[in-house]
Amino acid sequence: MILIQNARVIDPANSFDEISDVLIEDKKISRIEKQIDARDLENVQRIDASGKILAPGLVDMHAHLREPGQESKENFIDGAKSAALGGFTTVATMPNTNPVVDNAALVRSMKARAAEAIIKIEIIGAMTKNQKGEQLAEMLDMIDAGAVAFSDDGHFVDNARIFLNALDYLAPTGKLAICHEEETSLVEGGSMNEGHRSAVFGVKGRPTVAEDIAVARDCLLAEYSGGRVHIAHISSARSVEIVRDAKSRGVHVTAEATPHHLTMTEDLVTLSDTMTKVNPPLRTLKDVNAVVAGLKDGTIDCIVTDHSPHAFEEKDREYNRAPSGFPGLTRALALLIRKLVREGKISMPQLISKMTFEPAKIFGLLDKGIGTLSIGTPADLVLIAPNFNPITETPVDLTMCDGKILVCDGKLVD
């Protein structure tokens, strides 16, 4: 039995934001009250959370945990530890692995492997076989095996007929098609945002119009089919406008943004630092401001990390040859508090909603008790110190998953 006292409890799923005590019994949340009298409680562990925020465990529905076949970069066990350190208790892993997760047998295998991790890991299946965009994968079978959504992430499905067929198959199931939006012919060989800076560096760029064209097409196909489209890692100001307009017409489209596309611009890119190479690339300040505005007004529904670890020797090479992506699970919350909340761009309750309730709702996880502090749900939660020193401290004081403390005082519990 664990009693967390005097916390500011923020639970967007229940529109709750008050100083309260939270009692955890039998690994579930049993009581949330202004003050819980602990005198009659036996064998209770008390945690004083004065000045801290208690929220649902963070939910990241777009990460690359590299299993199967790429364990030299990371595996489920180590990725789960990184997630817990960052306050995440639920993470969904993308299917662009080796082999690609495009059949039910692989989904079942990964679900079994995920059960060994210290947090909850959900499985996203491929939309097309081997992510080649030529034939639909066994999506209905993968749903039966436990897949929560489908994506050819890392690849745009160029063939509109194939993508429309995917939406038709998925529409009755309510499952999402998560779309990597870059029109292929416009970005091949590109390594950074196309513009003045790429020209100065002599580096082939990836233009925003490639994203805009792809987002527009997929919003139109969602409108035509009635299917659900989810725009992955949106980064362009025009794409935000396109999604906003589609939503105003009642199209079933949702969107996500990453911490780096919310806080970083192409001005950070130097050819000597391949950690700035991401896909889609870091954009202009105009784009960043538009993505933040879209997050604030609800055009963008949730925040994801796009956590993408690589082996050191892969990133330690010429900019054009280095793979895109970097790890994001451990430091995402700290970055967003520092650059969005402290600078007054969004509120703490808004940030927590975008990292807990909203992704859980979009991906149909609320029924599992994910993304909420509702009474009777599994005790998945994070205790946040909002006034942390960004140089020496982490905002995550405690991470708990299924009633077990995984992180305490910013460190993994043995």
What single letter denotes the amino acid at residue 372? T
Which tokens go with 339?
A: 């650059």
Judged by DSSP in three states, 351 sits in helix
- In angstroms, the CA 288 to CA 43 distance is 50
Amino acid at 399: T
Alpha helices in 249-331 (DSSP H): 259-263, 285-297, 312-315
| Distances in whole angstroms, Cα of residue 372 to Cα of each of 64, 65, 91, 133 | 24, 24, 15, 36
Active site residue 306: yes
Counting beta carbons within 10 angstroms of the beta carbon of residue 174, is it exposed (0 to 12), middle (13 to 18) or buried (19 or more)? exposed
DSSP per residue, 2-58: EEEEEEEEEEGGGTEEEEEEEEEETTEEEEEES----TT-SSPEEEE-TT-EEEEPE
- C-alpha distances (whole Å) from 213 to each of 116, 206, 226 are 41, 13, 20
- Of 287, 301, 306, 380, the catalytic one is 306
Helix, strand, coil % over all residues of the chain, rounded to 5: 35, 25, 45
Question: Do 388 and 396 touch, CB atoms closer than 8 A?
Answer: no
Q: Which residue has the tokens 């916390």?
A: 7
CA distances from 101 to 95, 98, 105, 147, 373 (A): 5, 8, 9, 10, 32
* Enclosing H/E stretch for 216: helix 208-225
- The SS3 assignment for 414 reads coil
Q: Which sequence positions are flagged as catalytic?
A: 306
